[in-house]
């Protein structure tokens, strides 16, 4: 929403996310997973947030995404399996 952007918060800081990807009463929706990486042995997924530009994509722990948005993770994992065939 324009109001959310006026506060300078383009994306949700991971530490402040709850199970509904909500902060300050604003909901964030995962549009898709863009990339994957391992950081300190932990799997992270780069999330494209619906309604926000690619520059606001953020890396999120896969465990958090599996709990909150399992469909996005399942779609990503299936796409990766298809690419490996």
Domain ranges of the chain: 2-84
| Helix or strand (DSSP H, E) at 31 | strand 30-39
Looking at residue 69, what is its pLDDT? Answer: 87
Q: Quick one: which of 52, 54, 33 has its CA closest to 44?
A: 33
- CA atoms within a 13 Å half-sphere pointing along the CA-CB vector of 53: 4
Q: Is 25 helix (H, G, I), strand (E, B) or coil?
A: coil
Fold topology of 2-84? OB fold (Dihydrolipoamide Acetyltransferase, E2P) (2.40.50)
Rg, Å, the chain Cα set:
13
Among residues 20, 42, 34, the alpha carbon closest in space to that of 76 is found at 34
The first and second tokens of residue 20, run together, are 């509904």
pLDDT value at position 55?
A: 94
Q: What is the pLDDT along the chain (85 residues), one digit of tens a residue?
A: 333 433 444 555 444 444 455 545 556 789 999 999 999 999 999 999 988 899 999 999 999 999 888 899 999 999 999 998 8
């Amino acid at each position: 929403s324009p109001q959310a952007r006026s506060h300078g918060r383009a994306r949700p800081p991971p530490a402040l996310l709850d199970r509904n990807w909500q902060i300050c009463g604003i909901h964030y929706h995962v549009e898709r997973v863009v990339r994957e990486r391992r950081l300190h042995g932990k799997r992270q997924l780069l999330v494209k947030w619906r309604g926000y530009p690619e520059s606001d994509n953020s890396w999120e722990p896969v465990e958090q995404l599996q709990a909150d948005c399992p469909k996005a993770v399942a779609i990503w994992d299936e796409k990766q399996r298809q690419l490996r065939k």
